[in-house]
Amino acid sequence: MLDTSSILFIILLIIIIPVLWIFWPFIIGAGWQPTSKKRVQKMLKMAEVNSGDVVYDLGSGDGRIVMEAARRYQARAVGIEADPLRVLWSKLVLMSSGLNNRVKIVWGNLFHQDISEATVVTMFLWQDTNQKLIPKLIKELKPGTRVVSNYWKIKGWTPTKEDKDEGIYMYVIDQGYQPG
């Protein structure tokens, strides 16, 4: 039989976990809205992903972009996700996909992860988060790295390619200057 303090602890957990789950997007700077398969394919095609690329998805959610990059283009891919339940889910899906040798899912804050090995970066984050990422992108990414943003433009940067109908914007980090 459970004592009173154990019962209170369980009730507290039942209340706290859903509340944290609801407010987690505001804490990390992006809500989760799955990107359609059609849009994922357009993003990767726009970036001209190939087998020599290392694709990083910032805020990888369920891992669909990194798994598609590995499956369709044989790229190596890394998903960075702050939500531990989505990390767990994407790792479970990854285990059954046969892509473990090409895809890695990292649980963490994308601002604190090293993305310097990326040749392609994809992201579907909030506008403010995109803007806060600019110094990190400029500092860590090599010239020629393609950055593809779903829905939100990166203010102050000029896209090298865009699909206005779908709201997909690609930028290229170039030597000696900031995109835009």
Higher-confidence residue: 177 or 155? 155
Q: Is residue 25 part of a domain?
A: no
Question: What is the domain-level CATH number for residue 77?
Answer: 3.40.50.150
Q: Is residue 142 part of a domain?
A: yes
Angle, CA of 59, 67 and 162, to the nearest 5°: 65
Please compute the mean of the pLDDT values over residues 5-11 and round it to a whole number.
78
- Residues paired with 79 in a beta bridge: 57, 105
Crossing angle of helices 37-46 and 64-73, rounded to 10° = 60
Q: Say which residues have a Cβ less than 8 Å from residue 150's Cβ, sequence separation at least 6.
A: 35, 39, 43, 122, 123, 124, 167, 168
Q: Are 121 and 141 in contact (CB under 8 A)?
A: yes
Q: Is residue 140 part of a domain?
A: yes
Higher-confidence residue: 179 or 73? 73
Number of domains in the chain: 1
Q: Is residue 11 part of a domain?
A: no
Q: Is residue 17 part of a domain?
A: no
Residue 147 CA to residue 1 CA, distance in Å, equals 56
Stated pTM of the model: 0.83
Mean pLDDT of the chain: 88
Higher-confidence residue: 90 or 11? 90
Across the chain, how many H-helices and E-strands are there?
5, 7
Report residue 17's pLDDT band, with 50, 70 and 90 as the boundaries: low
Q: Residue 50's domain spans which residues? A: 37-172
pLDDT tens figures, 101-130? 999 999 999 999 999 999 999 999 888 889
> In this predicted structure, what is the pLDDT of residue 99?
92
